[in-house]
Structure 1
């Protein structure tokens, strides 16, 4: 709803609407649900409405999301001009992501030029987004250009991208080469919103249920699919993984307004679970009781009646001023992020009780992938050893 309102206001260049919405939530937080922060400025740039997109920059919109949308829309000349003439706040990797996902010959030439010119470029992101388009030739070209001696060096990124793009057959071909990365495919499919494929992969991963559920809830939370997050949590997924996914997707941060919006999208039961996760983060984050009550009230209104929109807006608006106080503070009195990525987060058991003695062994998505790869590869090697022993006996 807010995404469309901002889009329409930009088309009309309606200052009053944009300023009114910014009073509630920063403009970059008004996103369409989905990976990689697709906002109104991304959509406008994708469509080639550059004047309207640039109008949103006056209200704090992120120029990198404009660059990503324009590159994905194959407006390469426009993106090149921005990179040449705008320096402040520009991240070249957003141009690489969009162009790699666009996948046209012109876009891929642009990607290769940017990657080979050096600087702070991310080859792995380029391959991930190329795979998202499903173009195997583009992925192979980039892999051959930048891989060392191991052709599977970028397998994780390729599988995530292909799964997020919904290219099931491509994913299955990749998993034949690296079968220990199946849980990585679960994450990618959840990130892309392909729930039926997630369920297929979970069914095939019965021996790794905990790990696969953790990867699924991470992807779903990073996409902000809160209904699916609740579904997975109800089946035993670790809520700390949901917190990390939401953080990766920039749906939660130290901003109390943003946290209120995220918490209130869940039912009361899970609001309280996530509150405990924030309290148990390292360093601890104190959650203001008034903020918790408002999150619960908004959640109940959303689930109770479609006629409560005005009351819902009133509760959210009333929180604007109080949010300027330190609603979310560390015990030392400093506002902090949800959790440092190198610190463990406590687990919640299946009966939703916090076990303060038990902490999650995995604290960020990159660790999830490393653990998944290591565990899966070890199991794959053990299986090969068993097959070799059996083959020797039978011969």
Structure 2
């Protein structure tokens, strides 16, 4: 894959949108669509961004922010900022080193990296980087194999398990369907052994990746599955894909240490509520029962501030890290996380917050009121 040279003006990026622009210029169209696309008419994909833009923060004045810091904790461990890298499948689609490069970038940034069931690099190589690694789990049709993956992640040194709960099967992602998207031969889900051959069989008018996940994933994952997982692992348990406060309360009662308010980046149910809109009710429902994270649409430090003000402990960031890898490999992923940290510190200080705890005390206005902030309806 061609990449801009170190002296290219495209390497002088100042926002995550700049990184995406560079990545879009070098990625094959089918891969670009696989990463960028959503399900259905992509209404939720667009709504995630629009909903974040409608949230206006009410800054505090005359606060000493001379020592402003982004440092925080996640699952009891210190982090450089309240951010973790979200699980994204098949990093080697965009970078030869794949998840290993992204994990090194996360380590350098002082944040956790989430390795996925559909990782294109073995979990042992990812944890070998030395930074904190969470393991994202899809519940497979073979329960024994599912729990074996969890044990493998534990043995490799992962520090948490994240069960994705919003994918009984993959949402209908029309860009992939129209492209007849299939994985190239050099990219595969290494944790699923040879069973992922379906993902490489190109068929017109169908997504080979969707066909593969339909074979592999169980549509019968339930609260009983959560109980089995909780009993099976000693690691902190995160449930990703919670949008309803009733589910959030049950997650806390079931022993989850954290939940991720997420609509899968607009890639599952098209028409699902934007994550930032669901966040306040979910956070109120669980109280101190477990930590609440959020993803879907986060594209800058101000978005992190918005999420903190609305009740989140932290956010997950997915696509921007992939854009960084596609643009300039590990250096690009590092640049994404560096920008995010710089922007968050700027947002904290300018809103009168000396630290992350202060941000959770901020007021926000939204909806029609946000038009006063210059945000289009």
Calculate the TM-score normalised by the size of structure 1: 0.32
Calculate the TM-score normalised by the size of structure 2: 0.33
Structure in which a larger fraction of residues adopt helix: 1
Structure in which a larger fraction of residues adopt strand: 2
* Larger CA Rg, structure 1 vs 2: 1
